[in-house]
Amino acid sequence: MSKVLIVGAGGVGSVVAHKCAQVSDVFSQIVLASRTVSKCDAIAGEIEKRFNKKITTAKLDADNVQETVELIKSVNPDLVLNVALPYQDLALMEACLATGVDYLDTANYEPPDLAKFEYKWQWEYEKRFREKNLMALLGSGFDPGVTNVFCAWAQKHHFDEIHQLDIIDCNAGDHGQAFATNFNPEINIREITQPGRYWEQGEWVETDPLSWSMNYDFPEGIGPRKCYLMYHEELESLVLHLKGLKRARFWMTFSDQYLNHLKVLENIGMTRIDPIDFQGEKIIPLQFLKAVLPEPSSLGPLTKGRTCIGCVMKGIKDNKDKTLYIYNICSHEEAFKEVGSQAISYTTGVPAMIGAMLMLQKKWHLPGVWNMEQFDPDPFMDALNLHGLPWKVVELS
């Protein structure tokens, strides 16, 4: 019986709140707080309609540590579950330290004025969390999150050493919009327009943005899709924690239509993150662009098709070569039927709920700041099968 304070009422926040409400023996009380409280209230209304369960809502500017400290003191939660934006990570970690509450998020900190996402800022909190006997779990979404757990599970049960890792994220769904992003447009576009980066023989190798691609034949009828090499944050921790790793890469599928729009937006300066003068005010073009694009949470009823996210791992077991593919397929329509959201929010929100559940049940609970692959993957893998993200493992020749 625990109380959770969820921060952020976007696409992912809605799924987390719904999924926590489904597991009421663990999450007996749920408080949903965000900048725009009407979004929290709308989600609370949906949850009451769907599951006949009441959750509480609150208004919060999570950039303001003092305001967050006051809310945490009045709510008195066992855990703060951060599904706001990466910009809020450090402020929320500070508030957790000040009030003695455990912390979980799904994306690593990114300074608003620098499109650079790294764990270094959050890893610096390790000593302070350990000394206060508190836990912070970083990156409990799908990628990062489940992908890290897939690797830990493969390392534990199937390999002596994993030598090559390819994380492949395919969204084979279609929302019918000319251009829209499946999660927060600002964070999404900042990530995709960065140079690619992969890890080889102990070093990072940089590539021009979206300049490398491959075709991958996805299972269960999804078929071949073009995937582009990108840098993704789980690579930073996995290269430290997987034994014998020689190469690690991350790939994501994009349609030609999506890339053509992105190229035009970049060319005309709409993806810039530096302030410009507009009618006597400073505005950031990417934030303006976000304001005119569809909200990810509005894509739920429109999106059809499936996602397929997984890890291909090559390595050795008992001196023999082995290649394994572990993946999940998630249907946009089924996710919408269950919780009113498309599969990108669903595949992030379910693992956030599972990470929180394992922390509250003390199955994953150690003082300090942790990445997902540092814990026993078995209870997480079991929970994925039970809570809507079943996975498959196949040996490839």
Chain residues in the site for ligand NDP (CB under 6 A): 7-13, 34-36, 39, 60-63, 83-86, 88, 106-107, 139, 141-145, 183-184, 187, 296-297, 344-345, 348
Q: Which residue of the chain is nearest ligand NDP when measured via CB? A: 10
Q: Which is nearer to ligand NDP, 13 or 340 (CB)?
A: 13
Q: Which is nearer to ligand NDP, 161 or 338 (CB)?
A: 338
Q: Which is nearer to ligand NDP, 145 or 377 (CB)?
A: 145
CB 36 → ligand NDP: shortest distance, Å?
4
Which residues, including other chains, have CB under 8 Å from residue 281's CB and lie 6 or more apart?
none
Query: What are the backbone dihedrals phi and psi of residue 124, each rounded to the nearest 5 degrees, phi first?
Result: -65, -15
Which residues, including other chains, have CB under 8 Å from residue 352's CB and lie 6 or more apart?
12, 16, 19, 81, 83, 104, 106, 140, 141, 145
CB 86 → ligand NDP: shortest distance, Å?
5
Give me 117's structure tokens. 């996402």
Give me 260's structure tokens. 């053509």
CB 202 → ligand NDP: shortest distance, Å?
26
How many CA atoms lie within 13 Å of 124's alpha carbon, on the beta-carbon side? 8
Q: Around Cβ 272, how many Cβ atoms within 10 Å?
A: 16
Nearest to 82 by CA among 144, 146, 161, 9: 9
E runs forming strands in the chain: 2-7, 27-34, 56-59, 79-82, 102-105, 135-138, 161-171, 196-200, 203-207, 213-218, 223-230, 247-253, 276-278, 281-283, 306-317, 320-331, 368-371, 391-396
Q: Which is nearer to ligand NDP, 40 or 315 (CB)?
A: 40
Cα separation, 355 vs 346, whole angstroms: 14
CB 395 → ligand NDP: shortest distance, Å?
26
CB 293 → ligand NDP: shortest distance, Å?
11
What is the distance, to the nearest Å, from the Cα of residue 198 to the centroid of all Cα atoms in its chain?
Answer: 19
Q: Which is nearer to ligand NDP, 159 or 230 (CB)?
A: 230
Q: Which is nearer to ligand NDP, 29 or 82 (CB)?
A: 82
Integer-rounded Cα radius of gyration of the chain: 20
Nearest to 177 by CA among 70, 333, 304: 304
Which residues, including other chains, have CB under 8 Å from residue 208's CB and lie 6 or more apart?
195, 196
CB 92 → ligand NDP: shortest distance, Å?
9
Q: Contact, 258 vs 177, CB < 8 A?
A: no
Q: Which is nearer to ligand NDP, 38 or 213 (CB)?
A: 38
Q: Which is nearer to ligand NDP, 145 or 368 (CB)?
A: 145
CB 25 → ligand NDP: shortest distance, Å?
26
CB 141 → ligand NDP: shortest distance, Å?
2
